[in-house]
């Protein structure tokens, strides 16, 4: 028989451990709260200081995706996206053959797309293009030229090797030094003067030596027939030493320059493309092999592939709307009381600067009272009235799916960026790191953007725990790729920023958010919201 007193002691000890474990579990759960219930807690709200900041010409080389086309944004104005790239041979020192005769030269660049339907009988797929902005029936006048600019990855200054940077505002340089006539000189206007981003599935047909045909289905991509005479002279009849190495070749054939203009009175649009990943030029030709004593002369079908890789530059020209230009004008930015509206836009656009001044003023009290932070958020409400402005044909501005909040003082991610989630809630690659947030929330009725919420719980906890931690300025930008956290440098530094996140340079989209100024309605004003557990 067990001693009753001993059993009582064990029960008391177990109860203490259980209660302690529950408390620890509660706090641990509080660390990972994702939903909006918060056990019916009411958040403490703190004033923040938020204001606009223009992003002047910014480094645009080495982007993962680049803009091509014209985007007429009824809110922010017009963006024209041109592009320049080096080219590389897939194989150097190629054996051309004798008396080459070109059959075709084709430039191809895949689009971002996804399948929406598949025909059960034929297997034909219907695609929808992703990352195309503006009217679906948009057209542009597209020209592809040989580039005369020798693009480099680095240069030497007084014996020191430095990276060579190219900036968004350098289109005039590339346009001035383009060489000759445009290369996409097909009689088919859809490949040049009336080019459009076609969502149709492509069927490629090949015929082998026996005459048998093989068809291959290809997802939508840019397909341009290029000048055969140019490539015969430039490649097939080139001196052998010009095709001998990457260094020599890139000086000989300096690259391509993609230039866009308006296609008459047609509406225009713009797409984001990954030129370097799979963009290429394929030269198909026939050539004779040399006659030997062992083999007679024969004619072979041959190909040479030129990849669109090497140094690149996204060349963006903006014609800002009056309201947007005024909002980000240095003379109109209020860094004392904050701005009523925050204009954030990609490319050579703008960002919002946020200072957690109200929270900083209460830090001592929070530490003294030993409040435990369950969750901390910045909720940015979209100004749906200003974003509802319509362009010709009733077109409304496309809204960015994602915004990115970062440590602007040091140009690095916040600690909350590493939220442990690398996959997306859906198949949308822009929806990764969903705990960190910044994903657009839509209004059920209008289907337009309502808000963005960014979780900064651990950032706030660090400020509370460490009295020496610096309450850094935060930056908010739109982003085309939440996984890209590298920053690109401004051409000219200013007193607030010297660089901006690379993900924001890639795309042209923007949005208008309610700011922190006291004149903004209480339910829409930007504030820091923190859910606490407060000990009795």
Q: Over the stretch 121-179, which tens digit does the pLDDT of each residue have? A: 999 999 999 999 999 999 999 999 999 999 988 777 777 888 899 999 999 999 999 99
Residue 236 has pLDDT above 70, yes or no: yes
Residue 57 has, within 13 A of its CA and on its CB side, a CA count of 13
Lowest mean pLDDT among 271-280, 290-299, 397-406, 489-498: 290-299
DSSP at 241: G
Residue 262 to residue 358: CA distance in whole angstroms: 49
> In the structure, what pLDDT confidence band is assigned to residue 224 with cuts at 50, 70 and 90?
very high
Longest pairwise C-alpha distance within the chain = 109
The edge-to-edge listing of strands for the beta sheet with 372-381 is 44-47, 527-533, 372-381, 449-455, 437-442
Residue 509 to residue 53: CA distance in whole angstroms: 16
Q: Where are the beta strands (DSSP E) in 137-255?
A: 140-146, 154-157, 160-163, 202-207, 213-218, 221-225
* For residues 41-56, average pLDDT: 94
Chain segment 425-478, per-residue pLDDT in tens:
666 777 888 899 999 999 999 999 999 999 999 999 999 999 999 999 999 999
- The domain ranges of the chain are 30-58+321-533, 77-316
Q: Phi, psi at residue 422, to the nearest 5°?
A: -110, -15
Please give the C-alpha separations between residue 218 and each of 108, 115, 215, 232, 428, in angstroms, as whole numbers. 11, 12, 10, 27, 22
Report whether 337 contacts 277 (CB < 8 A). no
In the prediction, which pLDDT does 155 show?
75
In the prediction, which pLDDT does 291 show?
60
Residue 38 to residue 30: CA distance in whole angstroms: 8
Residue 372 to residue 363: CA distance in whole angstroms: 12
What is the overall mean pLDDT for the chain?
90
pLDDT above 70 coverage of the chain, percent: 89
Output 4 or 155, whichever has higher pLDDT: 155
Residue 503, SS3? helix
Q: Is the dihedral of CA 170, 171, 175, 176 positive or negative?
A: negative
Chain segment 289-321, per-residue pLDDT in tens:
766 656 667 888 999 999 999 999 999 999 999
Please give the C-alpha separations between residue 21 and each of 15, 24, 136, 303, 372, in angstroms, as whole numbers. 10, 5, 58, 70, 16
| Residue of 374, 365, 337, 533 lying closest to 456 (CA atoms) | 374
Q: List Cβ<8 Å contacts ≥24 apart for 491-498.
A: 491/56, 491/57, 491/58, 491/59, 491/167, 491/169, 492/56, 492/57, 494/56, 496/53, 496/353, 497/53, 497/55, 497/351, 497/408, 498/411
* For residues 413-429, average pLDDT: 77
> In the structure, what pLDDT confidence band is assigned to residue 20 with cuts at 50, 70 and 90?
very low
In the prediction, which pLDDT does 30 show?
33
| Residue of 247, 280, 235 lying closest to 85 (CA atoms) | 280
């Amino acid at each position: 028989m067990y001693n009753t007193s001993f059993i009582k002691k064990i029960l008391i000890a177990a109860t203490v451990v259980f209660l302690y474990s529950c408390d620890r579990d509660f706090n641990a759960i509080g660390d990972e709260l994702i939903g909006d219930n918060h056990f019916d807690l009411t958040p403490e709200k703190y004033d923040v200081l938020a204001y606009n900041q223009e992003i002047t010409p910014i480094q645009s080389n080495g982007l993962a995706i680049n803009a091509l086309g014209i985007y007429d944004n009824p809110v922010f104005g017009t963006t024209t996206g041109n592009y320049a790239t080096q080219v590389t041979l897939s194989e150097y020192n190629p054996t051309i053959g004798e008396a080459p005769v070109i059959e075709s030269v084709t430039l191809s660049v895949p689009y971002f797309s996804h399948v929406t339907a598949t025909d059960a009988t034929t297997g034909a797929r219907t695609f929808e293009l992703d990352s195309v902005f503006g009217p679906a029936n948009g057209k542009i006048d597209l020209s592809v030229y040989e580039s005369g600019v020798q693009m480099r990855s680095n240069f030497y200054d007084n014996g020191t090797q430095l990276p060579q940077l190219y900036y968004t505002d350098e289109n005039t340089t590339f346009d001035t030094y383009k060489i000759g006539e445009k290369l996409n000189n097909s009689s088919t206007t859809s490949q040049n003067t009336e080019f459009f981003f076609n969502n149709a599935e492509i069927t490629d047909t090949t015929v082998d030596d026996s005459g048998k045909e093989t068809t291959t289905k290809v997802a939508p991509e840019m397909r341009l027939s290029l000048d055969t005479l140019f490539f015969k002279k430039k490649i097939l009849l080139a001196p052998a030493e010009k095709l001998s190495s990457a260094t020599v070749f890139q000086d000989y054939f300096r690259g391509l320059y993609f230039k866009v203009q308006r296609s008459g009175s047609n509406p225009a649009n713009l797409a984001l493309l990954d030129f370097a990943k799979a963009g290429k030029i394929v030269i198909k030709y026939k050539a004779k092999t040399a006659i030997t004593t062992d083999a007679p002369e024969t004619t072979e079908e041959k190909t040479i592939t030129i990849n669109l890789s090497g140094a690149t530059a996204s060349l963006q020209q903006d014609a800002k709307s009056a309201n947007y230009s005024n909002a980000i004008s240095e003379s109109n930015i209020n860094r004392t009381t904050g701005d009523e509206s925050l204009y954030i836009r990609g490319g050579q656009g703008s960002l919002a600067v946020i200072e957690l001044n109200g929270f900083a003023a209460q830090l001592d009290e929070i530490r003294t009272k030993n409040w435990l932070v369950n969750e901390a958020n910045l909720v940015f409400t979209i100004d749906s009235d200003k974003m509802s402005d319509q362009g010709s044909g009733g077109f409304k501005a496309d809204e960015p799916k994602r915004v990115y909040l970062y440590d602007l003082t040091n140009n690095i991610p916040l600690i909350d960026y590493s939220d442990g989630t690398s996959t997306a809630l859906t198949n949308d690659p822009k929806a990764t790191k969903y705990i960190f947030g910044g994903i657009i929330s839509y209004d059920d009725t209008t289907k337009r953007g309502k808000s963005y919420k960014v979780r900064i719980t651990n950032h706030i906890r660090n400020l509370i725990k460490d009295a020496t931690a610096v309450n850094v300025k935060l930056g908010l930008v739109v982003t085309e790729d939440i996984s890209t956290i590298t920053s690109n440098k401004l051409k000219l530094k200013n007193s607030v920023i010297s660089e901006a996140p690379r993900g924001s340079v890639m795309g042209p989209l923007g949005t208008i958010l309610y700011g922190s100024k006291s004149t903004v309605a209480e339910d829409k004003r930007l504030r820091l919201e923190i859910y606490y557990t407060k000990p009795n």
